[in-house]
């Protein structure tokens, strides 16, 4: 088969940032604030091992342009017979769709994406009456998804959590506090979790990782009539505040996927939240798991209702994604590269059959 080589990514000079290994809250408060833009580059290399018949891959691309992220473009190189930027068609989640003809023994593609980020933090004491969500968007971000229902036990739990709360902001904060207080991070969870919140509530097993705990926040918020969304992404740098559990430890970020959440409150816009990272600090920041009252936790708990440290790339906020050209089922979210052959979908967490490596650097 004739090999096709795609555009080679440009090189850039990395900037090495020195960050303390561990922050003590009193010495280095966790206080993300908007500041200068920082530029990053990630390189995702995908190899489909044991190809069979028609072989495909889908690599998530940065799709969020906002006041905290600017997408600068993507380039790629490899031996695919075709590769194109595609979208899920509903949420605007961008991905590179690569295909290899039957007979290609070693399918490989390497994608380079560049983007800029800056920390975000809202002043929740101030309100702007112009910040409202149109009715269509409100309906879209309060609807149920396959893994995030808004009726039954989800609705009943949300009603109990927000009982007596008068304003949307009070409800949003009550749900945040409830998730922080009642869930825990389970290190045995594969990847970032699944996000099946009905199962979590019915079994009373409120454990998992970010795709579980932050999905629980989104579902409870939507069931309370608050527009909310998961934002799926990847940590790309160490925390400037020294929290080793809240950053990427090396330039190899293959396993650094992380999703966050947002809730829309009239007068304030999209409010960033991340209860899952509070529980991550509890479990991982010290050599042994600690408690919510440990001094390293309260600054993070306070900040992560209304702020994000942007040592993190936002891919998309999509759910129930039908991958273009795939014969397989929809994926609940697109945060990992996906692969498929004529024998079916590959396990994106199985390196023996579907290999990928993601590296990140400041540029």
DSSP string across 62-103: ----SSSEEEEEEEEEE--SEEEEEE-SSS--EEEEEEE-TT
Q: What is the mean pLDDT of the chain?
A: 92
pLDDT the model gives residue 352: 81
Alpha-carbon torsion, ordered 16, 117, 34, 292, to 10 deg:
-80
The answer on 156 and 268 residing in a single domain is yes
Could you tell me which residues are beta bridge partners of residue 97?
58, 84
How far apart CA 270 and CA 268 sit, in angstroms, is: 7
In the chain, the percentage of residues whose pLDDT exceeds 70 is 93
pLDDT higher than 50, residue 24? no
The answer on 339 and 289 residing in a single domain is no
Mean pLDDT for 191-206 is 98
Domain of 294 in residue numbering reads as: 120-315
pLDDT the model gives residue 9: 35
Q: Could you report the per-residue pLDDT of 304-358, keeping only the tens digit for each?
A: 999 999 999 999 999 999 999 999 999 999 999 999 999 999 999 987 889 999 9
13 lies in a domain? Answer: no
pLDDT the model gives residue 351: 79
Mean pLDDT for 19-44 is 76
The answer on 126 and 231 residing in a single domain is yes
344: part of which helix (H) or strand (E)? Answer: strand 344-345
Q: Could you report the per-residue pLDDT of 246-301, keeping only the tens digit for each?
A: 999 999 999 999 999 999 999 999 999 999 999 999 999 999 999 999 999 999 99
Q: Are 230 and 211 in contact (CB under 8 A)?
A: yes
The answer on 129 and 56 residing in a single domain is no
The answer on 282 and 143 residing in a single domain is yes
Give the least confident one: 100-104, 142-146, 147-151, 189-193. 100-104
Q: What is the CATH number of the domain that holds 78?
A: 2.60.40.2250
Instruction: Kindly list the distances between the CA atom of residue 318 and the CA atoms of 158, 208, 286, 298, in Å, as whole numbers in the listed order.
Output: 23, 20, 33, 31
The answer on 82 and 127 residing in a single domain is no
Tell me which long-range contacts 157-165 makes (C-beta under 8 A, separation of at least 24): 157/201, 157/220, 157/223, 158/219, 158/220, 158/221, 158/223, 158/224, 159/223, 159/224, 161/220, 161/224, 162/224
270 lies in a domain? Answer: yes
240 lies in a domain? Answer: yes
Mean pLDDT for 57-74 is 98
How far apart CA 69 and CA 312 sit, in angstroms, is: 10
Mean pLDDT for 36-59 is 96
The answer on 42 and 156 residing in a single domain is no
pLDDT the model gives residue 27: 40
5 lies in a domain? Answer: no
pLDDT higher than 60, residue 19? no
Give the least confident one: 21-25, 87-91, 260-264, 354-358. 21-25
Query: What's the domain count of the chain?
Result: 2
The answer on 324 and 263 residing in a single domain is no
pLDDT the model gives residue 357: 96
Instruction: Kindly list the distances between the CA atom of residue 132 and the CA atoms of 12, 22, 143, in Å, as whole numbers in the listed order.
Output: 41, 40, 18
pLDDT the model gives residue 143: 98
pLDDT the model gives residue 203: 98
How far apart CA 269 and CA 263 sit, in angstroms, is: 8
pLDDT the model gives residue 269: 98
Q: What is the CATH number of the domain that holds 150?
A: 3.10.620.30
């Amino acid at each position: 088969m004739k090999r096709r080589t795609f555009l080679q990514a440009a090189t850039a000079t990395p900037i090495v940032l020195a960050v303390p290994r561990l922050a003590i809250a009193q010495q280095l408060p966790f206080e993300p604030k908007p500041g200068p833009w920082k530029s990053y580059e990630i390189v995702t290399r995908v190899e489909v091992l044991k190809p069979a018949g028609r072989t495909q891959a889908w690599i998530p691309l940065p799709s969020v342009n906002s006041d905290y992220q600017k997408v600068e473009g993507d380039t790629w190189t490899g031996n695919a017979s075709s590769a194109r930027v595609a979208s899920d068609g509903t949420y605007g989640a961008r991905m590179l769709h690569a295909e290899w003809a039957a007979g290609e023994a070693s399918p490989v593609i390497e994608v380079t994406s560049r983007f800029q980020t800056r920390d975000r933090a809202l002043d929740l004491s101030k309100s702007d009456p112009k910040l409202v969500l149109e009715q269509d968007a409100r309906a879209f971000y309060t609807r149920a998804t396959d893994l995030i229902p808004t009726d039954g036990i989800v609705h009943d739990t949300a009603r109990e959590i927000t009982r007596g709360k008068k304003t949307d902001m009070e409800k949003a904060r009550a749900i945040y506090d409830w998730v922080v207080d009642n869930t825990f991070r389970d290190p045995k969870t594969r990847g970032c979790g699944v996000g099946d919140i009905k199962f979590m509530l019915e079994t009373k097993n409120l454990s998992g990782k970010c795709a579980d705990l932050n999905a629980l926040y989104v579902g409870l918020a939507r069931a309370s009539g608050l527009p909310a969304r998961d934002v799926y992404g990847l940590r790309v740098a160490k925390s400037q505040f020294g929290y080793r559990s809240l950053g990427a430890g090396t330039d190899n970020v293959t396993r650094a996927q992380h999703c966050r959440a947002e809730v829309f409150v009239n007068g304030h816009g999209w409010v960033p939240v991340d209860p899952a990272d509070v529980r991550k600090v509890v479990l991982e920041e010290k050599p042994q798991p600690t408690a919510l009252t440990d001094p390293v936790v309260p600054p993070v708990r306070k900040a992560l209702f209304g702020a994000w440290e942007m040592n993190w790339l936002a891919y998309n906020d999509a759910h129930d994604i039908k991958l273009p050209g795939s014969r397989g089922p929809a994926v609940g979210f697109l945060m990992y590269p996906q692969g498929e052959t004529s024998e079916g979908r590959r396990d994106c967490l199985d390196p023996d059959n579907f290999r990928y490596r993601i590296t990140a650097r400041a540029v």
